Structure 1
Amino acid sequence: MAGDTDFTGKRVLVVGGSSGIGNGIAHGFRLRGADVHVWGTRVDPSDYDPADGSDLSGLAYTCVDVGDPDGIAAAPLPFAGLDVLVLCQGTVVYKRGEFAREGWDRVMAVNLDSLMHCANKFRDQLSAAAGSLITVSSVAAFSAQVGNPAYAASKAGAVSLTKTLGQAWAPLGIRVNGIAPGFVDTKLTKVTTEHPERLARAMERIPQGRMGTPEDMAGAVLFLASPLASYVTGQTLIVDGGLSL
């Protein structure tokens, strides 16, 4: 069983791997022997604040704004081949900003459109390696999200895209799956975690009684990318401590 999660020699790209959930996933693969490259939005790795859950030690880095399709197309391939592609990019606009065109367009571009653009960019490499593509959506895909229509719609779209690519690309040798995280302590959830009353209300809804961690999410992704999940295709695994029950 231990050998099934040994990624020694595997080439892994984590889009959005510069902080938060993506960073936890990147280090999960790194600690199990993989060569890991991450894409982030800041010019230099030193621009990231460790207080935001950023640790780029042992990871290669490229600045790519995935909200720009041309930026994705122009980005250099991180490896000559690719075994695992994790699409963990994501953004949100609070204070009802997603009801306006600018907020809606930006969130949809990053959270949904870029998934397809990145997937297409690496399709041939993943097919050649009989590799794995893993999306990171959210439990927000499965319920209304007051104040965040673009976030909810984009995450629901990611779940549907995972099903469709799973079906379409299985004949190419690519397994496409995803995870749907619940409430994870990252910079995107500070709107809740930095307010004790909001945090207490959120915790009451989680049967396990705690927030998730990037490491929790990494465990699910490692499973889906491993031979242990060799017959799993097109699925989105909910990883939320029971929040959505």
Structure 2
Amino acid sequence: MGQSDTDFTGKRVLVVGGSSGIGNGIAQAFRARDAEVLVWGTRANASDYDPTDGSDLDGLAYQQVDVGDPDAIEAAHVDFDTLDSLVLCQGTVVYKRGEFEREGWDRVMAVNLDSLMHCARRLKPMLAKVGGSVIIVSSISGFSANVGNPAYAASKAGAVSLTKTLGQAWAPEGIRVNGLAPGLVDTKLTKVTTGNPKRLEGALRAIPAGRMGLPADMAGAAIFLASPLASYVCGQTLIVDGGLSL
């Protein structure tokens, strides 16, 4: 892999949901390769995030946008006039069977699925100017059942399908749309598993690689998909799960 293939000097990247977890790992990976990176998150200021939750906003521009609200997406001002890569990594989950109720279902679908389309459509003109790429972060839950979380599973399946459909629709305009589907990654969203020793032990037994994924593992896949190395990859979702879904 040549350095030039993954050098993002002068490139502009927006990572939605880049304030912590997988999104933050991806944002910092682009910054490490000299991209200019903007992060959208839900809190008022970058200083409102706790580094112990996996938030490293050093060197990243930050903007508060609640993508669960379509009007907030439309109203958001982006300082960039062009965009080389848009990473859609927003996500939420409701535990204790809350997704079986209307409020939980609606909130998860709004953030995990609806906002993907709203963000992509809103930022498409900026991507089209430079032949940019979109990366939709879904989950291996989009390929199977997810016990207790119907909205999470359905939204992630929708994200995989949206990746295919936008990939087909926008490729003629020079915009590549692809996705990545993480398995079990150590973030604050998975604390319900990682914080329970017995549950974690069972989860690790199911992963052939023998360990949980890290945000850095997901970042490697994102860098590849955004780079010229993936110039002929279109509409695909790359599974990055240590073999868990096998």
**Separation in 2 of the partners of 1:42 and 1:201?**
34
In the alignment, structure 2 segments of 5+ residues that lack a partner are none
Q: Does 1:212 align with 2:213?
A: yes
- Give the Cα separation in 2 of the matches to 1:160 and 1:203: 28
Supply the distance in 2 between the matched residues of 1:212 and 1:2 (Cα, whole angstroms). 25
Paired letter, 1:213: L
TM-score by length of 2: 0.99
Contact 1:37 1:78 survives alignment (8 Å): no
Superposed counterparts of 1:13-162, under 5 Å:
13-162=14-163
SS at match of 1:244: coil
What residue identity is the alignment partner of 1:158?
A
2-structure distance, mates of 1:8, 1:148: 40
Percentage of pairs with the same residue: 76
**Higher mean C-alpha displacement, 191-200 vs 72-81:** 72-81
**CA–CA distance in structure 2, aligned partners of residues 215 and 174 of structure 1:** 25
- Cα distance in 2 for partners of 1:151, 1:70 equals 23
Q: Distance in 2 between matches of 1:124 and 1:37?
A: 17
Q: Residue 224 of structure 1 aligns with which residue?
A: 225
Question: How far did residue 176 of structure 1 move?
Answer: 0.2
1:196, distance to aligned residue in structure 2 (A): 0.2
Q: Give the C-alpha shift of residue 78 in structure 1.
A: 3.4
Query: Paired residue for 1:11?
Result: 12
Give the aligned CA root-mean-square deviation in angstroms.
0.5
Q: How many angstroms apart in 2 are the aligned matches of 1:231 and 1:71?
A: 33
TM-superposed CA distance for 1:115, in Å, is 0.2
Unpaired segments of 5 or more residues in structure 1? none
3-state DSSP class of the match of 2:201?
A: helix
- Rounded to whole Å, the distance in 1 between the matches of 2:147 and 2:30 is 35
Q: TM-score, normalised by structure 1?
A: 0.99
Aligned equivalents of 2:202, 2:31: Cα separation in 1: 35
Determine the C-alpha separation between the residues in 2 that align with 1:33 and 1:77: 19
> Are 1:13 and 1:78, in contact at CA under 8 Å, matched by a contact in 2?
no
Distance 1:126 1:45 in 2: 25
Runs (4+) of structure 1 exceeding 6 A deviation are: none
Q: Does the Cα contact within 8 Å between 1:137 and 1:159 map onto a contact in 2?
A: yes
In structure 2, the residue matched to 1:180 is 181
Q: Partner amino acid for 1:47? A: D
Tell me, in whole angstroms, the C-alpha distance in 2 between the residues paired with 1:23 and 1:228: 22
- Report the Cα distance in structure 2 between the residues aligned to 1:232 and 1:3, rounded to whole angstroms: 19
Amino acid at match of 1:165: L
Give, in angstroms, the shift of residue 131 of structure 1.
0.5
Q: Distance in 1 between matches of 2:135 and 2:33?
A: 17
Measured in 1, the distance between the counterparts of 2:123 and 2:71 equals 15
Structure 2 CA distance, aligned partners of 1:38 and 1:111? 17
Distance in structure 2 (CA, Å) of the matches to 1:240 and 1:51: 24
**Mapped contact 1:91–1:110 kept (Cα < 8 A):** yes
Task: Provide, for residues 211-240 of structure 1, a one-character-per-residue CA deviation record: whole Å limited to 9, x for no partner.
Answer: 000000000000000000000000000000
